[in-house]
Structure 1
């Protein structure tokens, strides 16, 4: 078993490691998420393009709307499991897009279901611009 000496430097390193480890699940806002994906894409997300993307099947069985509803402002059910899904639009469910790790996880998973690949940063920005615009 390894022994660690208690030092100021060791405590500082441990504190820094813990702080960095928590960054992936850091609280955020839908607008900050949109900004992050727009910066990664190098252009602004467009709500109209996001709405079209959200409702379209991309060569597969499902679209985003298959589980979240064509207008994702009310609860819906997962297309295959029947599990209840809270509204996706942030104005109708305050917790949406307020955790970076969760947003990344669900975009990755759902994009693979809908597109058979991960979404691009621009696709994420477009969809989120659409969702933020729903009031």
Structure 2
């Protein structure tokens, strides 16, 4: 095998690995709320505290809105965006099975909403606490 053939073979192998990884990427993003909670808890290095999550969710953090401003104090029903009036589906996973099923989407919304509510990204511990509280809400 000459150098050119080896190079082409290597490039084909790299391309095949890239395609395999790309094919798995959507599946890698799928998650359950308990899996996401486990990840946030591991990142935080401490157990989640549902009561602390509820307090964080309903409190104002020096800004105009709290999480509850749009999602409701107990987010088991449809909410309404405080500024746009857009309808927001129930946040608690037991009341909306679409919630917390995609890691990338969950991160996107935590980032966006935490910036609005807290003025920064939430910590892993804050995410874990809020999600652990949401998981306690049952029909």
- Shared fold per TM-score greater than 0.5: yes
1:26 and 2:29 aligned: yes
For 1:74-108, what per-residue CA distance to the aligned partner results, in whole angstroms no more than 9, with x for missing partners?
00100000000000000000010000000000000
Offset at 1:25? 6.2
Give the conservation status (yes or no) of the 8 Å contact 1:47–1:129. Answer: yes
Q: Is the 8 A contact 1:25 1:101 kept in 2?
A: no
Does the alignment pair 1:43 with 2:53?
A: no
Tell whether 2:105 aligns with 1:102.
yes
Q: Could you list the runs of 5+ residues in structure 1 that have no partner in the other structure? A: none
1:15 aligns with 2:19: yes
Root-mean-square deviation (CA, aligned residues, Å) is 1.9
TM-score, normalised to structure 2, is: 0.86
Cα contact 1:78–1:85 (8 A) shared by 2: yes
1:12, distance to aligned residue in structure 2 (A)? 2.1
Q: TM-score if structure 1 supplies the norm length?
A: 0.89
Q: Following TM superposition, by how much is the alpha carbon of 1:18 offset from its aligned partner in structure 2, in angstroms?
A: 1.3
Give the SS at the match of 2:64. coil
Instruction: Verify: 1:120 aligned to 2:134, yes or no.
Output: no
Structure with the larger helix share: 2
Q: Quick one: structure 1 residues 87 and 12, their matched pair in 2 at CA, closer, same or farther if it must change by over 3 Å?
A: same
**Structure label with greater radius of gyration:** 2
1:88 aligned residue (91, 115, 120): 91
